[in-house]
Amino acid sequence: MRVLVIEDERKLAAAIARGLVEEGFAVDAAYNGVNGLWKATSEPYDAILLDIMLPGLSGYEVLKRLRAADVWTPVLMLTAKDGEYDEADALDLGADDYLSKPFSYVVLVAHLRALLRRGAPARPAVLAAGDLTLDPARRLCHRAGEEITLTAREFALLEFLLRHADEVVSKSDILTHVWDEHYDGDTNIVEVYVGYLRRKIDTPYGRRTIETLRGAGYRLLGTGADAAGAGAAGADAGD
């Protein structure tokens, strides 16, 4: 098993490498983000240990670019509690696991072994309904092969609807999952955003994939979405 350690504190990088070598791993090290990204994209690693606060490119940015380059090597992020980023950010960004510094060596190896056992990940599924696709890891949305630009909120709303395709979701379900718990404004905000989404993913393509079920909520048509397009005979394109 070959592991890449991207860590700018050389002493720490050396200590990690020494320990992992003793455990039978092959270890390479990089001491800044640019070099780390280059190694991670050009060599086949089984896992990457990635520090967040790095010169050149932050670990954050390295991870984003790795995933954008379609490299799905499992990443164990090393986070500092007092740092600019935290665990939640690391996981949001597509890290497979994280460890807070300072960590014990035993814990590091345990996490690493667990990660390797899980094997090559964890490429998050691309969500799809007919020819509409949403790639949460790469933050991309396409309809009929065309890229659609969504705001963060529109993206989150569409992701929620796609994860519940063909189910009826109420406005309050949507509010709970797409807006944070502190939002206490008008629930009509959901309607407004569904309208924005329709104008981006449906209207220009002659589709009606987001149904309004009066008094109940919304339903995004999943597998039958293409058939429900404007050109179809439309038994279920109503509402």
Give the integer Cα–Cα distance in Å for 138 and 94. Answer: 9
Whichever of 53 and 169 has its CB closer to Ca ion, that residue is 53
Whichever of 75 and 148 has its CB closer to Ca ion, that residue is 75
Taking CA atoms, 171 is separated from 168, 182, 207, 217, 218, in Å, by: 10, 16, 22, 6, 8
Structure tokens, 37: 């990204």
Residue whose structure tokens are 């890229």: 147
Contact between 57 and Ca ion by CB under 5 A: the answer reads no
Minimum distance, C-beta of residue 60 to Ca ion, in the bound complex (Å):
12
Whichever of 1 and 14 has its CB closer to Ca ion, that residue is 14
Chain positions 189 to 208 lying near Ca ion, rule: CB under 5 A, are: none
Contact between 8 and Ca ion by CB under 5 A: the answer reads yes
The number of residues that bind Ca ion (CB under 5 A) is 3
Q: Which stretch binds Ca ion (CB under 5 A): 2-10, 63-71, 97-105, 132-140?
A: 2-10
Minimum distance, C-beta of residue 59 to Ca ion, in the bound complex (Å):
8
As beta bridge partners, residue 77 has: 50, 98
Q: Pick the closest to residue 92 from 119, 124, 117 (CA basis).
A: 124
Whichever of 6 and 201 has its CB closer to Ca ion, that residue is 6
Q: Pick the closest to residue 74 from 52, 93, 47 (CA basis).
A: 47
Given candidates 3, 20, 27, 53, which one binds Ca ion under the rule CB under 5 A?
53
Q: Which stretch binds Ca ion (CB under 5 A): 46-54, 129-137, 180-188, 205-213?
A: 46-54
Contact between 51 and Ca ion by CB under 5 A: the answer reads yes
Whichever of 40 and 158 has its CB closer to Ca ion, that residue is 40
Contact between 61 and Ca ion by CB under 5 A: the answer reads no
Structure tokens, 67: 């995933």
Q: Which helix (H) or strand (E) holds 146?
A: strand 146-147
Residues 6+ apart with CB under 8 A from 106: none
Minimum distance, C-beta of residue 92 to Ca ion, in the bound complex (Å):
20
Structure tokens, 127: 């969500």
Whichever of 85 and 193 has its CB closer to Ca ion, that residue is 85
Q: Give 197: exposed, middle or buried? Use CB within 10 Å, 0-12, 13-18, 19+.
A: buried
Minimum distance, C-beta of residue 67 to Ca ion, in the bound complex (Å):
21
Q: Pick the closest to residue 85 from 64, 71, 69 (CA basis).
A: 64
Q: Which stretch binds Ca ion (CB under 5 A): 51-59, 110-118, 168-176, 179-187?
A: 51-59
Question: In the bound complex, which residue of the shown chain has the CB atom lying closest to Ca ion?
Answer: 53
User: Rule CB under 5 A: which residues touch Ca ion?
Assistant: 8, 51, 53
